[in-house]
């Protein structure tokens, strides 16, 4: 099941978050050795946001545009599990990419507002949040454009409204993750409606 969905999503999309995380880590380490600390941290802060939106778009592409929904619903597996497995593969890739990005930047002390290894929850939590938003948007909208817009909106909320002003890590990531869990439950129930899933493809 996992191997089949890995092939269906595509190797480039699956490994994309890890590659982007590694590139950002390299760029951040280089900036930390060449630039003043404040400038290096500013660059890393913005680069980390690019990583989050990259993961969100990868998840959006992976969970939308499937022309075989009716075929999936005709099997014992069902489309809901197929979509969740695809999103899970990208979420795992995103979490690995977040750790690959964070670890070197933490080691050279250029991660913004670094509180130790616990600060890894910032990029990891952001990855999980945008992944859930992509799944929920796909469950109700189904198109790549609508799902991507929802992901971008969630990313902008985190980057520009939430993260700069909610500084305690528990609240900064805990509250959005609780909301994301509720959103995932709603999407799970919606995806359990096979007729609605098939009708969405017919309407498209």
| Greater model confidence, 203 or 59 | 59
Compute CA distances 177 → 28, 40, 67, whole Å: 27, 29, 31
Instruction: Tally Cβ neighbours within 10 Å of residue 91.
Output: 24
pLDDT for the residue numbered 68: 62
Q: Which residue, among 130, 126, 63, 60, has the nearest Cα to 99 in the 3D structure?
A: 126
Burial class (CB in 10 A: 0-12, 13-18, 19+), 139: buried
**In this predicted model, which residue has the larger pLDDT, 196 or 108?**
108
Q: Above 70 in pLDDT, residue 73? A: no
Among candidate residues 104, 103, 130, the one with its CA nearest the CA of residue 49: 130
Average pLDDT (103-118) is 96
- Is it the case that residue 94 has pLDDT exceeding 70? yes
CA angle 149, 154, 155 (to 5 degrees): 95
Domain count, the chain: 1
pLDDT tens digits, residue range 169-189?
999 999 999 999 999 999 999
Q: Is the pLDDT of residue 119 over 90?
A: yes
Domain that holds residue 98: 2-203
Write out the two tokens for 154: 């969630």
Asked if pLDDT for residue 158 goes beyond 90, the answer is: yes
Please tell me the predicted confidence (pLDDT) of residue 69: 62
């Amino acid at each position: 099941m996992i191997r089949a969905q890995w092939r269906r999503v595509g190797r480039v999309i699956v490994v994309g978050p890890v590659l982007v995380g590694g590139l950002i880590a390299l760029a951040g380490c280089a900036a930390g050795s060449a630039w003043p600390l404040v400038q290096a941290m500013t660059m890393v802060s913005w680069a980390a946001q690019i990583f989050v939106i990259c993961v969100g778009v990868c998840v959006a592409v992976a969970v939308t545009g499937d022309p075989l929904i009716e075929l999936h619903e005709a099997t014992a597996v069902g489309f809901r599990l197929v979509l969740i497995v695809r999103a899970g593969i990208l979420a795992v890739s995103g979490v690995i990419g977040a750790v690959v990005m964070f670890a070197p930047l933490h080691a050279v002390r250029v991660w913004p507002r670094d509180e130790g290894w616990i600060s890894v929850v910032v990029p990891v939590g952001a990855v999980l949040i945008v992944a859930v938003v992509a799944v929920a948007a796909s469950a109700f909208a189904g198109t790549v454009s609508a799902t991507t817009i929802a992901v971008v909106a969630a990313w902008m909320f985190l980057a520009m409204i939430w993260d700069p002003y909610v500084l305690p890590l528990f609240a900064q990531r805990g509250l959005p993750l609780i909301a994301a869990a509720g959103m995932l439950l709603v999407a799970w129930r919606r995806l359990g409606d096979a007729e609605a899933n098939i009708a969405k493809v017919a309407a498209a």
